[in-house]
Structure 1
Amino acid sequence: MFKSKGFMNYQRKQLTPDLTPLIDVVFLLLIFFMVATTFDDMKGMKIDLPKSEVSEITEAVDKISILVTSNGELKIKIDRQKESSIVDIRKDELQEKIKNIIVLMENKRVAILADRGIDYGDVVDIMSDIKLAGAQAIDIETKGK
């Protein structure tokens, strides 16, 4: 019936593994870690927070933090949706600066991060200035034990 002309030369196709799914997974992991990573803006600041049994974290869209270092320097950390900035201030201008910032906030909460070596009276003075500036709530942040 059929006559064979001999062996035909077929070019064999090289089999290579498909790397597309692997690359997709790598990019998904990269995106996940980029989104899940938090950046700490306060690494250079030495503030020894007091310890507390209860340490509740509340997330706010806008957040103001008053940072008090061990030598009494005041800084305001302003967190907005995608940006954060830290500004040095003097004690006599604290109330006015907070008043200007708090007007723009929906959640009028202010956090205080004071070094454990700061006098109690200084923290009370700062809390008084914050309340007079129009804050509805004052949070004192601590670190867990």
Structure 2
Amino acid sequence: MKFPRTRRDPVEVNLTPLIDVVFLLLIFFMVSTTFETRQALELALPESRAGGALPVSPLTVVVTAQGEYRVGERTLGEAALTEALARQVERARAHGLVVEADARAAHADVVRVLDRAGGLGIERVRIATRAQTSTQAETP
């Protein structure tokens, strides 16, 4: 006895829904991931024997070796430094101001920050340093 064979349609896998799901997952992970926004600066801080950590996060002004200033994430020139400090003067008066100056920065650039801070009435100013290594010779 001969049975008639039924013809089957060829099996196809539709990849369109799979691609849509992969793109949705990609978008979800891109949106939900937090990125590091602070850009690292290569600063060579001067050394100090008598230094300590601060209990509260004060306002920080970074002075680079090229004479640029940074308040937060913004790179500023000399003219915009006063404006940036004036915007955050209450925070600086409450918690202090930390000047992170590169060891190769010009003294005039650091004095300029201190002058602008004094003009705005910021009295608690600290200069950031790094701890002195024990391998270096100690001078009296």
Gaps of 5+ in 1: 1-39, 78-85
Question: What amino acid is the match of 1:53?
Answer: R
The offset of 1:131, in angstroms, is 1.3
Greater alpha carbon shift after TM alignment, 132-141 vs 100-109: 100-109
| 1:68 aligned onto 2:63 | yes
| Equivalent in the alignment of 1:127 | 114
Q: How many angstroms apart in 2 are the aligned matches of 1:50 and 1:57?
A: 15
| 1:100 aligned onto 2:61 | no
| 1:91 aligned onto 2:91 | no
State the number of aligned residues. Answer: 97
> Which of 52, 55, 64 pairs up with 1:56?
52
Q: Which structure's residues are more often helix, by fraction? A: 2
Q: Which structure's residues are more often strand, by fraction? A: 1
Q: How many angstroms apart in 2 are the aligned matches of 1:88 and 1:142?
A: 21
| Equivalent in the alignment of 2:126 | 139
> Which of 100, 109, 117 pairs up with 2:96?
109
Identity %: 18
TM-score of the superposition, structure 2-length normalised? 0.61
The offset of 1:96, in angstroms, is 2.0
TM-score of the superposition, structure 1-length normalised? 0.59
Gaps of 5+ in 2: 1-35, 133-140
Distance 1:133 1:108, change over 3 A: farther
Runs of 4+ in 1 over 3 A off after TM superposition: 40-43
Distance 1:119 1:112, change over 3 A: same
